[in-house]
Amino acid sequence: MRRLAALALLAVTAALAGLLPATPVAQERAASRPAGATFRDCPSCPEMIALAPGSVAPGEAAGRRVTIGYRLAVSTSRISLREWKACVLANQCPALGAASAASLEPVLQVSWLDVQQYLAWLTLETGAEYRLMSEAEWEYVTRGAAPGAGGLRAEGLEWTSDCWHADRAAAPVDGSSWDSEGDCRYHVARGRRPGEPAATSATRYRFLFDARDPVLGFRVARVLGD
């Protein structure tokens, strides 16, 4: 089961190949954007914000520091119903109930596998490699450690790319997703449920890769070129 999620993503990508022509994204222009600048890679794409490299001390491990040594862009909010609908209309994502093409509300009750379909479609649509944030990147962004992040904060629960590990003492310190050795039937969500006490930066949730939850959504990320 450890490789199931990775195999599923490969299957989705293979299924999409040849169905949607990859449109070259303006990589050089995106790479030159200053921290805090916003952009979209296509009219139906999510709004992204460019962030500068930096570091953050993860909440679960005093004295440990994670360095993000690359320029990252993340969506300014969770993916909306309208943004999801573009993928549905392209016949590459499930409808997920009464998704409105006009709604800016976040798409919720979306599984980790559903998200992989959206990411594969967005990647082929733009030519840029879209993905989920790792746990380390999520903390870097939502704790305000990233130059340019401004007021980005957690909204409900958000999927990350990491497999579940009960103990993160040996987690990567370069911002990468921790996909080895853990239980990859489960993936990590960060944030908090409405009405719960304010979550600390170390609060983590685990969900099966095909689980859906009423407050669980996601943001997207991509690395900007040098």
Report residue 154 as tokens: 């957690």
- Tell me if 120 sits within 8 A of 22, measured CB to CB: no
Residues 70 and 186: their CA atoms lie apart, in Å, by 27
Handedness of CA 215, 221, 49, 105 (dihedral sign): negative
Beta strands in 105-210 (DSSP E): 157-164, 183-191, 204-208
pLDDT recorded at residue 200 = 56
Which pLDDT does position 58 carry in this prediction?
77
What is the rounded CA–CA span in Å between residue 24 and residue 153?
Answer: 31
pTM listed for this prediction: 0.84
- All structural domains of the chain, each given as residue ranges with its CATH number in brackets, are 4-223 (3.90.1580.10)
Cα separation, 17 vs 89, whole angstroms? 17
Q: Is 4 helix (H, G, I), strand (E, B) or coil?
A: helix
Q: Which amino acid is at 110?
A: V
Buried b (16+ CB within 10 A) or exposed e, 197-217: eebebebbbbbebebebebbb
Lookup: tokens for 53: 């490299």
How many whole angstroms separate alpha carbon 71 and alpha carbon 183?
29
Encode the chain (226 residues) as per-residue pLDDT tens digits.
444 444 444 444 444 444 444 445 455 555 678 888 999 999 999 999 999 999 988 766 556 789 999 999 999 999 999 999 999 999 999 998 655 566 889 999 999 999 999 999 999 999 999 999 999 999 898 877 676 666 677 778 999 999 999 988 889 999 999 998 889 999 999 998 887 766 555 689 999 999 999 999 999 999 998 4
pLDDT at res. 143: 79
Sign of CA dihedral 214, 9, 44, 47: positive
